[in-house]
Amino acid sequence: GATMRRESSIHGQWSSKLVFVLAATGSAVGLGNIWRFPYIAGENGGGAFVLIYLACILLIGLPIMMAEIALGRRGRQSPINTMATLAREEGLHRAWGLVGWLGVTAGFIILSYYSVIAGWSLSYVFRAASGAFAGLDGEGVKNLFEGLVSDPERLLAWHTLFMLMNILVVARGVRSGLEKAVKFLMPALLGMLLILVGYAMTQGHFMQGFAFMFRPDFSQVTGDTILLAMGQAFFTLSLGMGAIMIYGSYLSSRASIFKTSATVVSADTAVALLAGLAIFPIVFASGLEPGAGPGLIFITLPMAFGEMTGGLLFGTLFFLLLVTAAWTSSISLMEPAVAWLVENRGLDRPLAAMIVGGIAWFLGIGTILSFSLWSNPIGFNLTLGGESLFIGGTLFDMADYLTSNIMLPLGGLLIALFVGWRMNRRSVEEELGLRSRVFFKAWYHVLRFAAPIGILLIFLKAVNLI
């Protein structure tokens, strides 16, 4: 069989190609770049991790992003219905619809903890603006951070506020909600980023941070390091769960999927690298540990902001940037499930947004308590060849590990297989609309072979099967 081209979605359409690029970049650039990338890279030795991450972005991320956008635009519905519809038109098994469900499930889990961390960021905007960092030493900033995360009630309040901000946007729909938000927030984000990078460049201390990020030491690389780097690539590009797919479903048929994808991937990678280059020099300059974990930027940066001239302004600006980036990402985490509720349950958008936000809000309580009442890791010991290995962690650890390192790459693998092996090649070629056949062939080969084999090998390596 072959699928047919659709010109529009019932939910609406971006008013231009540029708005799609803003929205998709807004989805990609988020806590993943500024909070997660530095701390995961820091915990995994820096250089080698960063290089493997970059390889995953290029060989797996970019081709899969193009496939996800093409699928979304071909189906023009929520990821669940897009997958089911395209599978039906191709005469394929109904089980392909499960790819959409996998994505929606991952979206709920990610949103649940993402909103809690965004809540930390919100709280830090006010701390920075009120001068709470002034004169603090390493001990002081650590206490400040621990005071926040060990207080479930305060975390719940910030988490609730952030979730309401998302419901507010998504409830208003594609044009007057998502589009309006990204048109306002993305230029603000870019402005804040430029000011902060300009400032960081005048601060010196660059070399040690630079060396940490780019001097690879492959002797420390394990299967898990590679899995984490791939997981970070999926997470940071918002791939494998349908967020980019549904944004693609609102894109005009005339826009070039390759050019828009390349722009989004470049912007996201640039922001991650800039964040690392701004953060690691401070980590080393102040004698802190790059492996400090999820608190890394909330501990190191306040110390720097507390010391520097203009720290009040730049600190406030930085956490405002973080909140903005998180906001334009989490609305894309909600959209697939909201669109499905509208399509299949006939709900009004505001009600759908409240239901999705409400479920993720409730799940987020597990993450909130992961830093206090439920901070003892839960799991089991696995004994392999005399070596005992603990599998488990807090609910936050598990939600994060399961989604980034397993669910998103699995979703991406299935998307690559669907587009590369099961869909009619002509449909794919038509939707992609690449002018050069050579170029199409190159992409198609990477999608059929390199990307899926890469993902599979990394999965096998992580469980020590190769």
Choose, by CB under 6 A, the member of 26, 30, 79, 290 that binds ligand PFF: 30
- Among 21, 22, 23, 28, interactor with Na ion by CB under 5 A: 28
Q: Is 323 in the site for ligand PFF (CB under 6 A)?
A: no
Using Cβ positions, the residue closest to ligand PFF within the complex turns out to be: 32
Asked if 27 touches ligand PFF (CB under 6 A), the answer is yes
372, 149 Cβ separation under 8 angstroms: yes
Find out whether 144 and 127 touch, Cβ atoms under 8 Å: yes
Three-state secondary-structure class, residue 463? coil
**Cβ distance 85 to 261 under 8 Å?**
no
Which span sits near Na ion by CB under 5 A: 153-161, 233-241, 311-319, 421-429? 233-241
Q: Which is nearer to ligand PFF, 239 or 451 (CB)?
A: 239
Q: Could you tell me which residues come within 8 angstroms of residue 393 by beta carbon, excluding any fewer than 6 positions away?
A: 377, 378, 379, 401
Beta-bridge partner residues of 266 = none
Q: Which is nearer to ligand PFF, 288 or 301 (CB)?
A: 301
Among 67, 71, 110, 320, binds ligand PFF (CB under 6 A): 110
Is 236 a binding residue for ligand PFF by CB under 6 A? The answer is yes
* 261 lies in the site for Na ion, by CB under 5 A: no
Q: Which does 369 bind (CB under 5 to 8 A by kind): ligand PFF, Na ion, none?
A: none
* Total count of residues recorded for the chain: 466
User: For the purposes of burial, counting CB atoms within 10 Å of the CB of 175, is it exposed (0-12), middle (13-18) or buried (19 or more)?
Assistant: middle
Rg over alpha carbons for the chain, rounded to the nearest Å, is: 21
Of residues 326-345, those binding ligand PFF (CB under 6 A): 329, 332-333
The SS3 of residue 144 is helix
Amino acid present at 190: L
Q: Count residues contacting Na ion (CB under 5 A)?
A: 5
In the three-class reduction of DSSP (H, G, I as helix; E, B as strand; rest coil), residue 288 is classed as coil
Which one of Na ion, ligand PFF, none is in contact with 312 (Cβ closer than 5 to 8 A by kind)? none
Joined tokens for residue 394: 């807090």
CB of 72 to ligand PFF, least distance (A): 12
CB 408 within 8 A of CB 234: yes
Which of 22, 23, 31, 257 touches ligand PFF by CB under 6 A? 31
Our CB check for ligand PFF shows the closer of 311 and 412 to be 412
Instruction: Say if CB 77 and CB 339 are below 8 A apart.
Output: yes
Nearer to ligand PFF, 234 or 444 (CB): 234
Among 40, 41, 241, 283, binds ligand PFF (CB under 6 A): 241
Name the minimum Å distance from CB 325 to Na ion: 8
Instruction: For CA atoms 196, 131, 29, 374, give the dihedral sign.
Output: positive
DSSP 393: E
CB under 5 to 8 A by kind: which of Na ion, ligand PFF, none does 132 bind?
none
Spatial distance between the Cα atoms of 423 and 448, rounded to a whole number of angstroms: 11
CB of 29 vs ligand PFF, minimal distance in Å: 6
Closest distance of CB 268 from Na ion, Å: 5
Q: Does 360 bind ligand PFF (CB under 6 A)?
A: no
Residue 170: CB minimum distance to ligand PFF, A: 13
Distance in angstroms (rounded) separating the CA atoms of residues 337 and 94: 19
- Contacts for 344 with CB less than 8 Å, ≥ 6 apart: 78, 80, 81
**Shortest Å, Cβ 19 to ligand PFF:** 17
Query: What is the SS3 assignment for 131?
Result: coil
Report in angstroms how near the CB of residue 97 gets to Na ion at its nearest.
27
Residue numbers at the binding site for ligand PFF (CB under 6 A): 27-28, 30-33, 110, 235-236, 238, 241, 243, 329, 332-333
Residue numbers at the binding site for Na ion (CB under 5 A): 28, 32-33, 236, 268
